């Protein structure tokens, strides 16, 4: 049962020391929502931090706003640990100690599955919200905090990244209504934020993308496109894996491609990012290998196979997935 | 002096035969706005056509909606010729005969410069509108027409293409408010429209882009990036020049690039598309060679030089442009 925005705002306004938890592999929505909430709480005189245990991705560095810490002993008496844009201990792996310090546990998220292992004192899960940033925005407003330029930037980053710049089908009237409000904040300029997020790709990353695209393999009459980011390719271009972000979207922009797969060969394992265009159920395909996600955006990890073995295992499943329109 | 939306709607509701004119090299805003207006006028029982004299770009084919014609004798008594998203005879080149048939002449546009050679019976120029589609939307509402799914799709296409998917600094609260309304139309799905516009690139076009990017030259310590789409590259990849759309945006996404230039070698001439990130005045640079445009998005055409000569002429000007922050 969802708690109301108003009741969550009321609880949070009563607390002084709060830790916010974005999910592992933080993205613009997870970090932007956490930082927006953190800045609003501080504005209201509270102590708040965004607890992380991995580096902030370079293109999201402007969302840090002095809010993040990896010190799990920060604050002397943590009254609330709040998961944001996630739900479940595996989504905050490595930060269990900090999480457990919160006397209250809360969760705001827009992913449908609710973790069973946690007894939240309050939670709000809105699967129809395009971004956790929409929920964060409403809580900030309900707490009576001012939407400052920094908060506006964080909320815009959260919503624009999770909606694919207002293009994906998760976008709603409300996503646009909230964005419309942000433009009324003095100094707000979407282009500035957008350029920080999207237009700081290194020459090397751009070249890496070009090479992955040039090396695409097509199957099922062009319905399935498969790319590979190998360790070799990363080393040759002097790139790290996070610089491969965006390649899967590129693959999906090719006419006729119903399913896209990007293999990422890390030093520990092989990951596959999977995307469907219209009917291909990629969550189902990923689940064959213990992965999951949304129907049109899913992923799985191969821990006991090398890249070649992972390809041999996954590609036939994907060919079947894109070849069966009834596979919805 | 701008006429009001209401007075324009009143005039148009009184007329039966209307021709709508998008600008040459039509884009999503020009065609989407025209078609939306055309569909609304037909819904109100009028005869209306979108007058064109060039093919509709492939990625915008869904905006045609049975509205376009290249028959300049269409309709027996044209009561109104309306320019949409443009302003000036040179912007409807080749369609002068059809234009002159309208007993009344009108214009709705969001480009600041007003043509002096035309005496419009009514006009509305809103330089602060992100897209002509916003003006078209308001006129359609003011005429009392229903926003059907087709009209919603056209308006969304108009706004999303002209705002760079709600990222450019021309985007306003109103852009989002109008988009927010469109999501309330039964069946509206931004992803469907977005995929039609952006996700139908051919394998060949994607490969062409990869090769242009791989061949970029950098100057001025990485502040200037220059790419070339040559006839040779087009032929090798089996592409036409319109498939090079989007490459300049890619160039501008590279960190540190303040100015981008994409040479396009056509069979008749050499064109240069110029973009600035923050301070580089590309309109000024283009004007040296008789071109023009906006400060951060301009272009020029070389009719008496080959590609190599055009490079030798333009690149030094661009190096100076990106090297002088005071060049604003």
pLDDT single digits (tens) A219-243: 999 999 999 999 999 999 999 998 8
Q: Testing the interface with B: which of A130, A172, A201, A254 to mutate, by most B Cβ within 10 A?
A: A254
Host H or E run for residue B214: helix B203-214
Contacts of B199 in chain A (CB under 8 A): 252-255, 277
In this predicted structure, what is the pLDDT of residue A328? 46
Question: Do B234 and B240 form a contact (C-beta atoms < 8 A)?
Answer: yes
- A117 DSSP 8-state letter: S
Reduced to 3 states (helix: H, G, I; strand: E, B; else coil), residue A124 is strand
User: What are the strands of the beta sheet with A292-293, ordered from one edge?
Assistant: A217-219, A224-229, A259-265, A270-276, A297-302, A292-293
Domains of chain B as residue ranges with CATH: 5-198 (3.90.1640.10), 203-327 (3.10.310.30)
- Kindly report the average pLDDT of chain B as a whole number: 95
Q: What is the mean pLDDT of residues A319-324?
A: 94
Nearest to B213 among A176, A177, A210 (CB): A210
Question: Predicted confidence band at B326 (pLDDT cuts at 50, 70, 90)?
Answer: low
CB contact set of A36 (below 8 Å; sequence gap of 6+)? A133, A136, A137, A140, A151, A154, A155, A158
Measured from the Cβ of residue A283, the count of other Cβ atoms closer than 10 Å reads 19
pLDDT the model gives residue A112: 82
Specify whether the CB–CB gap between B80 and B103 falls below 8 A.
yes
Give Rg (Cα) of chain B.
Answer: 21
> Inter-chain contact B173–A181, Cβ cutoff 8 Å?
yes
Strand-pair category, B47-51 with A47-51? unpaired
Residue range A282-292, pLDDT digits in tens: 999 999 999 98
Look up the ipTM and state it: 0.89
What are A107-162's pLDDT values in tens digits? 999 988 777 889 999 999 999 999 999 999 999 999 999 999 999 999 999 999 99
Q: Do the Cβ atoms of B165 and A165 come within 8 Å?
A: yes
Instruction: Say if the Cβ atoms of B168 and A191 lie within 8 Å.
Output: yes
Taking the CA of residue B257 and the nearest CA in chain A, the distance in Å comes to 9
Query: Which pLDDT belongs to residue A326?
Result: 56
- What are residue B48's DSSP bridge partners? B18
Q: How far is CA A185 from CA A180, A193, B186, in A?
A: 10, 14, 31
pLDDT tens digits, A171-192 = 999 999 999 999 999 999 999 9
Distance, in Å, from the CA atom of A57 to the CA atom of A243, rounded to the nearest integer, reads: 10
- Strand-strand pairing, A217-219 and A224-229: antiparallel
pLDDT at B64 (0 to 100): 97
Report the Cα B325 to chain-centroid distance in Å.
Answer: 28
């Amino acid at each position: 049962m969802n708690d109301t925005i108003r009741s969550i705002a009321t609880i949070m306004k009563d607390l002084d020391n709060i830790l916010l938890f974005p999910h592992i592999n933080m993205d613009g929505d997870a970090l932007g929502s956490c930082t927006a909430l953190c800045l609003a709480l501080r504005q209201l005189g509270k102590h708040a931090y965004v607890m992380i245990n991995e580096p902030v991705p370079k293109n999201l560095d402007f969302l840090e706003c002095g809010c993040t810490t990896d010190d799990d002993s920060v604050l002397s008496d943590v009254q609330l640990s709040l998961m944001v844009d996630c739900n479940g201990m595996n989504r905050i792996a490595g930060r269990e100690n900090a999480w457990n310090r919160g006397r209250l546990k809360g969760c705001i998220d827009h992913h449908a599955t609710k973790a069973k292992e946690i007894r939240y004192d309050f939670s709000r899960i809105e699967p129809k919200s395009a971004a956790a940033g929409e929920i964060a925005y409403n809580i900030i407003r309900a707490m009576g905090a001012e939407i400052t330029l920094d908060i506006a930037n964080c909320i815009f980053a959260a919503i624009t990244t999770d909606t694919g710049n207002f293009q994906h089908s998760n976008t709603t009237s409300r996503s646009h209504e909230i964005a419309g409000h942000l433009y009324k904040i003095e100094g707000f300029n979407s282009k500035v934020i957008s350029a920080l997020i999207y237009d700081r790709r290194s020459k090397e990353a751009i070249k890496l993308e070009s090479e992955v695209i040039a090396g695409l393999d097509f199957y099922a009459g062009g319905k399935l496109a498969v790319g590979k980011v190998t360790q070799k390719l990363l080393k040759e271009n002097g790139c790290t894996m996070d610089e491969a972000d965006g390649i899967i979207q590129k693959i999906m922009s090719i006419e006729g491609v119903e399913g896209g797969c990007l293999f990422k060969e890390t030093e520990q394992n092989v990951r596959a990012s999977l995307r469907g265009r219209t009917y291909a159920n990629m969550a189902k395909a990923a689940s064959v290998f213990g992965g999951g996600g949304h129907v049109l955006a899913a992923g799985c990890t191969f821990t006991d196979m090398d890249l070649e073995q992972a390809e041999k295992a996954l590609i036939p499943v994907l060919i079947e997935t894109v070849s069966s329109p009834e596979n919805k």
